[in-house]
Amino acid sequence: MPQKTRIIGIDPGSRCTGYGVIDSDGFRHDYVASGFVKIKGEELPERLGMIFTEIGGIIEKWQPQTMGVEKVFVSKNIDSALKLSQARAAAICSGINAQLDVGEYTPRAIKKAVVGSGSAEKQQIQQMMKILLKLDFDPQNDEADGLAIAICHANHMHVKALGIATKVRGGRWR
Amino acid sequence: MPQKTRIIGIDPGSRCTGYGVIDSDGFRHDYVASGFVKIKGEELPERLGMIFTEIGGIIEKWQPQTMGVEKVFVSKNIDSALKLSQARAAAICSGINAQLDVGEYTPRAIKKAVVGSGSAEKQQIQQMMKILLKLDFDPQNDEADGLAIAICHANHMHVKALGIATKVRGGRWR
């Protein structure tokens, strides 16, 4: 039975950043922790600093081995796309500071991984997290997204590991 | 005579990030170090990680007390604006990780601080850095911008400090 990996998933936002921590072997996912950080402060460095520091603290507390982050999509509003991309960069830096690998996933890939459809609604993700991770509470929006990103990263890592194993068996890799 | 502060100025870029370190009391600026980091890597986390780690190493080496960063301007190309804003967030996180205050300045404010005109050309900034900091070499573009940002931050901090002193004298502050 493959060993489980502890994964943190981050749903970055310039107002609220969600996170979810799971243990997973790619098939079974165990809930560890989740929550969200409300971003305060007037100036951008202060706000990015809050994301960097808070996510850093969460990493230190839960000791994940790897990180998944949602990829920025370009929205119609360039100002909010910029804010989002900066929030995301700060979250990635928290992971790098703790020497984690960081994987990126599009919103579509995340939805497909947990609901089976790339166009799933927010509520479907929340509901699916409750079922998949046997939660006895209703996760908040960004918190549910954090958990979904962690599961997407778990699946991706597992597929990648299987791919390498096949290659090793096929003799194409040393 | 006021004590000099060690300042790092960062000109973030997704391909090349320039930096300049000076000692300054707001009037006299002494050159300490400058250079640029060529950003390599395919994936965004890798590239942001490189900025975060390299600038972190430069901060550790030169021990600045405060940081100035160029503010992102929204360019016509949204993709390059996003890349730039993420590079900038990574540089800000390096500063925050080293517990530095971080100030932001628009390109216009930086040009005005060192050349006297908000619409100065790149070459004018390079030339002005050579004169102001008595450099015996021609600084590279991003390197010169890093130094210019450090000087802009020095001026700003000095003006801010004078403002507070006036308020204290006026009896409006305790």
Find the catalytic residue in A23, A54, A70, A145: A70
Chain-chain contact of B82 with A87 (C-beta, under 8 angstroms): no
Distance from CA of B59 to the nearest CA of A (A): 15
Listed in sequence order, the residues at least 6 apart from B77 whose beta carbon sits closer than 8 Å to its beta carbon are none
pLDDT score of A141:
92
Q: Write the pLDDT tens digit of every residue in A101-124.
A: 999 999 999 999 999 888 888 899
Gap from A90 CA to chain B (nearest CA, Å): 6
Instruction: Work out the minimum CA distance from B56 to partner chain A, whole angstroms.
Output: 10
Burial (0-12, 13-18, 19+ Cβ within 10 Å), B151: buried
Dump the DSSP string for A70-99: EPPP--S-HHHHHHHHHHHHHHHHHHHHTT
The closest of A158, A173, A159, A168 to A2, measured between CA atoms, is A158
Q: Identify which of B86, B97, B102 has the shortest CB distance to residue A85.
A: B86
Which chain A residue lies closest to B52 (C-alpha atoms)? A93
pLDDT per residue, tens digit, chain A (174 aa), is 468 999 999 999 989 999 999 999 988 999 999 999 999 988 889 999 999 999 999 999 999 999 999 987 666 788 888 889 999 999 999 999 999 999 999 999 999 999 988 888 889 999 999 999 999 999 999 999 999 999 999 999 877 766 644 433 333 332
Q: Is A145 a catalytic residue?
A: no
Instruction: Return the percentage of chain B with pLDDT > 70, whole number.
Output: 89
Domains, chain A: 5-162 (3.30.420.10)
Looking at residue A124, its pLDDT comes to: 93
> Is residue A16 classed as helix, strand or coil in its secondary structure?
strand
Q: Indicate which of A82, A83, A99 best probes the interface with B, i.e. most B CBs within 10 Å of its own CB.
A: A82
Q: Determine the residue type at A47.
A: R
Q: Contact, A130 vs A139, CB < 8 A?
A: yes
Chain A hits for B81, CB-CB cut-off 8 Å, are: 78, 82
Dihedrals phi, psi of B133, to nearest 5 degrees: -105, 10
User: Residue B50: which residues within 8 A CB-CB, separation 6 or more?
Assistant: B37, B39, B40, B41
Of B72, B90, B92, the CB nearest to A45: B92
pLDDT in tens, B46-66: 999 999 999 999 999 999 999
The answer to whether residues A157 and A9 touch, using CB atoms and an 8 Å cutoff, is: no
Give the one of B48, B81, B95 whose C-beta lies nearest to A78's C-beta. B81
What type of residue is B125?
I
Interface residues of A toward B, Cβ cutoff 8 Å, are 43-45, 48-49, 52-53, 69, 72, 74, 78-79, 81-82, 85-90, 92-97, 101-104
Binning chain B into helix, strand and coil, the percentages to the nearest 5 are 50, 20, 30
Query: Quick one: DSSP state of residue B133?
Result: T
- Chain B residues at the A interface, defined by Cβ less than 8 Å, are 43-45, 48-49, 52-53, 69, 72, 74, 78-79, 81-82, 85-90, 92-97, 101-104
Distance, in angstroms, between A131 CA and closest chain B CA?
A: 31
ipTM at complex level: 0.81
User: Catalytic: A11?
Assistant: yes
